[in-house]
Amino acid sequence: MIEVKQASKKIIAEANIILFDKVTSIPASMLGSNIKNKLKGIELKKPLSYFDGTTLFFYQLCNDSKDWKNREQLRKNAALAVSTMKSQNLTQVKICDYCGVSAAVKAYCEGIILGSYSFTKYKTDKKVKNSNEFAVYLSSKKIKSAELKEWNILWEAVYKSRDLVNEPNSYLTAPKLSEEFVKMGKEAGFQVEVWNETKIKAQKMGGILGVNSGSMMPPTFNIMEYKPKGAKNKKPIVLVGKGVVYDTGGMSLKPTANSMDYMKCDMAGSAVVAGILYAAAKSKLPLHIIGLVPATDNRPGEEAIVPGDIITMYSGNTVEVKNTDAEGRLILADALHYAKKLNPELVIDFATLTGAAVRAIGSYASAIMGTASDKVFNAVENKGYETFERVIRFPLWDEYGDELKSDIADFSNLGKGEGGQMSAGKFLEKFTDYPWLHLDIAGTAFMHSSADYRPAGGTGVGVRLIFEYLKTLI
């Protein structure tokens, strides 16, 4: 994990990044010859680079950094600087803060750290494997050590979330995912209880068992809890994550190209939940938070459920399975019903749930819907712009529920293709009786090619968004 360390006066870096609001704020020692005049016309979108023969300098204007678009531009520019430095094999950079705006400094550091990420676990070339070795120092009178520590913890949580999503199913089975949760809990300070297949059967969690019926690997149900002394909330915030570690579509088999070949990412919702808990616990947020992750793969094995089958859910409701590739909602439904026992203040679930959400809004935002108050929706939406993990609200009208009617069961697991993200949300709503948000992250959780500080593969979307939202509850 790359982190930002506070710079001592002794640090002489290979590259210096100068963040400034006006040219006069930059000390003469940080100004190369003929640079001062060039900086007078600099724009936020067009940083200036300069090499003095020994050191590479980047000059980045940070005015009007309270605007969310400008903060995102800073992240992008920082990722571009990372690319430049790595192309020149530089391993050390110092960020010099002469603007004094915390939001701007954080955004730029964020772009540096998140833009430096790469998943090299399975690379055998040592140079490639060590490409993450990058020292970043911050020299700032404004940013205190406690604030910097929290930033680093949050970015570390994003790294861990990305790592989980990038792991292949050959490693990350449902039981292995549970082991990773236990490891993260020990590191950060939250408790993890793992239910095995025997316990899941005893609890009659038919959604999880139905999806798992074609698999050679057993399912797990994971309960993660962070409950600090003096928690501000009397009732817990519950986070639920879809943990389908690999999705073939089951008997409703997916095509391979641009579909099944990326389905190791179908557990991204579970990675979000673990990442948020990791950040919250390690930062010692005074909030009681519980994470629930039903985990399994979805395969067309000998005993797999088939279209037309009826399963009995943990809630006792019967569901006609019209499509076995609509499996995420089946395992989430069991977890959402279990959440009723916890008497939650709010439940937020995360899932790579529908292609319909991707078709509606692409990869530029996550779909959000639910029964929480407008105050909660607005707060999450605002943090979405602040972190640039934007959300777009969709309705849960009764008509979407009508699409789920079944002649032979309480309801089916499939609505129409049009507006499918809403009918999927309406299915989940049937298992809730509390304030609830559903985030469909199908378009944002995994990138097929890199874009700025978002690498190809897992993005860790949702971790920064909800962590910053949770801080508003303190």
Q: Is 329 marked active-site? A: yes
Residue 213: φ, ψ to 5°: -65, -20
Q: Which two tokens stand for residue 4?
A: 């930002």
Q: Which two tokens stand for residue 235?
A: 């009732």
User: Which residue do the tokens 């999806």 mark?
Assistant: 211
Q: Is 162 marked active-site? A: no
Closest CA to 139 of 219, 221, 26, 31: 26
Residue 174: φ, ψ to 5°: -60, -45
Closest CA to 16 of 80, 59, 62, 78: 59
Q: According to the 3-state scheme, what is the secondary structure of 334-383?
A: HHHHHHHHHCCCEEEEEECCCHHHHHHHCCCCEEEEECCCHHHHHHHHHH
Dihedral sign of CA atoms 209, 211, 215, 218 in order: negative
Q: Which two tokens stand for residue 366?
A: 């996550």
For the beta carbon of residue 383, count every other beta carbon within 10 angstroms. Answer: 21
**How far apart (Å, rounded) are the C-alpha atoms in residues 21 and 101?**
9
Within 8 A by CB and 6+ apart from 134, the residues are 2, 82, 85, 86, 91, 92, 93, 116
Return the H-helix or E-strand segment holding 96: strand 92-98
Q: Which two tokens stand for residue 240?
A: 């639920």
Task: Give the active site residue among 329, 383, 426, 454.
Answer: 329
What amino acid occupies position 28? A
**How far apart (Å, rounded) are the C-alpha atoms in residues 236 and 373?**
17
Q: Which two tokens stand for residue 191?
A: 């408790």
In contact, 301 and 248? CB cutoff 8 Å: no
Task: Give the active site residue among 5, 149, 254, 471.
Answer: 254
SS3 431: coil
What amino acid occupies position 45? K
Which residues are annotated as catalytic? 254, 329
